[in-house]
Structure 1
Amino acid sequence: MTRGATAPTAFPEQGLYAITPEDLSAIDALLNAVSSAIAGGAAVIQYRCKNAAERRAGASPLLELCRKAGVPLIINDDVELAAQIGADGVHLGKDDGDIALSRRALGQHAIIGVSCYDSLERAMAAEQSGADYVAFGRFFPSRSKPHAPCAKPETLTEARRHIHLPIVAIGGITAANGANLLHAGAGLLAVIDGVFGSGDPKMAAARFQPLFRRG
């Protein structure tokens, strides 16, 4: 599969960035949950699945769903898979590869995001290397990454002053605590359990939307 004419051309400046959970591996369940999250207002979907066989099986159907909805699909960690299916981009952690190499593999129009944890310096370096967005966190206790280092809201404020890219906040974010991160400087809120941990991803995603309208 290759990038089609209907593919999103830009990463949004703000909105809900929904990340699929590890326990959502059955394809039908994955597609139903993601479709519901998009219906509730998710502006970006990141496909996160550590099992390689399950990840390959779910990636193309998920991309087709996202393309029909006009929502970017970002593949977590796996540049090869993103290139193979023509996904809209990839998200890189500190051990997941080089921005320049990812750009060569995915093309000039691909979206490349980088985890920056609590490091403004890492974010500035990512921008200089050609990243399309940067992500900071975790900001609150998180079931998906309970041992991840904590980030400070002040880092978002400094990032907004110095970085000219969309800024994503991640880690234990809910509709109840996300407003402070937007006020501090984030444009997007990345959420796993706060969307997919409920029985109704559409309703869970919709609860975040007033935060962005106020922002």
Structure 2
Amino acid sequence: MTDTVPAGLYALTGGGSRTEGGLLEGVAAAIRGGARWVQYRDKDAPPDTRAARAKALRRLCNECGVPLIVNDDVALARAVGAAGVHLGRDDASLQAARETLGAGALIGISCYDSLDRARAAEAGGADYVAFGRFFPSRTKPRATPAPIGLLRRARAALSVPIVAIGGITPENGAALIVAGADVLAVGHGVFGHAD
């Protein structure tokens, strides 16, 4: 496990028809705007496209001193030399990811609205846990809602950094930090706007 989980804004890229150049431009702008780390998230592109984009993002993130995390794909994270991987309920196990990526990799676990899942992730060696969606989300509109009070309970129960996700905007993000989140993971709020 590592102590290098940056607090602040965690920018989550989306899939879709964005070109590699557009993706890199968007991520560079997010970093200039304060993103402390980036997650490459694209479930729709063909494997070769995903690999090329992840490699290009890793180069950009390395140049900017910002960790790149790959969503759901341990093999891709390893292949491109990403800083780590983020795993959901149906992805590889934490133990398998740690064995593949090594002790220094950042591994995060989606915990949705479950403090028990977060406790198990922390006990298993996760570097951070993510809760949410806290607000209506364009990226995952059907995701199970999590109450903001969950962050207070998680802060009291956990030692690992806590990430909040789901429908976060400049108007509602502060409430999540006050409740106990260390990190705000934002996709559409960062990449869904021209500026």
How far apart, CA to CA, are the structure 2 residues paired with 1:147 and 1:53? 29
Tell me the equivalent position of 2:92: 97
1:93-172 paired onto structure 2 within 5 Å: 93-172=88-167
**Structure 2 contact 51–80 (Cα < 8 Å) conserved:** no
Tell me the equivalent position of 1:57: 52
Task: Look up the equivalent residue of 2:59 and give its one-letter code.
Answer: E
Task: Look up the equivalent residue of 2:158 and give its one-letter code.
Answer: I
1:86 aligns with 2:81: yes
Q: Secondary structure, in 3 states, of the residue corresponding to 1:97?
A: coil
Q: Secondary structure, in 3 states, of the residue corresponding to 1:64?
A: helix
Task: Look up the equivalent residue of 1:43 and give its one-letter code.
Answer: R
Shift of 1:53: 3.1
Specify which of 2, 5, 20 is matched with residue 11 of structure 1. 5
**What residue ranges of structure 1 are gaps of 5+ in the alignment?**
1-7, 201-215
Worse-superposed segment, 48-57 or 144-153: 48-57
How far apart, CA to CA, are the structure 2 residues paired with 1:195 and 1:85? 24
**Structure 1 contact 24–30 (Cα < 8 Å) conserved:** no
Task: Look up the equivalent residue of 1:66 and give its one-letter code.
Answer: C
Tell me the equivalent position of 1:193: 188
Specify which of 21, 24, 32 is matched with residue 28 of structure 1. 21
**Structure 1 contact 118–155 (Cα < 8 Å) conserved:** yes
Task: Look up the equivalent residue of 1:15 and give its one-letter code.
Answer: G
**Structure 1 contact 113–132 (Cα < 8 Å) conserved:** yes
Worse-superposed segment, 22-31 or 143-152: 22-31
Task: Look up the equivalent residue of 2:42 and give its one-letter code.
Answer: C
Shift of 1:23: 2.4
Aligned structure 1 segments of 4 or more residues deviating by more than 4 angstroms: none
**Relative contact order, CA 8 A, sep 6+: which one is greater?**
1
How far apart, CA to CA, are the structure 1 residues paired with 2:159 and 2:3? 18
User: Per-residue CA shift, 1:162-182, capped at 9, x if unaligned?
Assistant: 100110000000000111111
Identity %: 55
**What residue ranges of structure 2 are gaps of 5+ in the alignment?**
none
**Structure 2 contact 74–100 (Cα < 8 Å) conserved:** yes
**Structure 1 contact 25–58 (Cα < 8 Å) conserved:** no
Tell me the equivalent position of 1:41: 34
How far apart, CA to CA, are the structure 2 residues paired with 1:140 and 1:18? 17
Tell me the equivalent position of 1:210: none
How far apart, CA to CA, are the structure 2 residues paired with 1:188 and 1:84? 26
Q: Secondary structure, in 3 states, of the residue corresponding to 1:22?
A: coil
Q: Secondary structure, in 3 states, of the residue corresponding to 2:95?
A: helix
**Residues paired across the two proteins, number:** 192
How far apart, CA to CA, are the structure 2 residues paired with 1:111 and 1:199? 30
How far apart, CA to CA, are the structure 2 residues paired with 1:185 and 1:163? 11
Task: Look up the equivalent residue of 2:61 and give its one-letter code.
Answer: C
Q: Secondary structure, in 3 states, of the residue corresponding to 2:168?
A: coil
How far apart, CA to CA, are the structure 1 residues paired with 2:73 and 2:107? 11
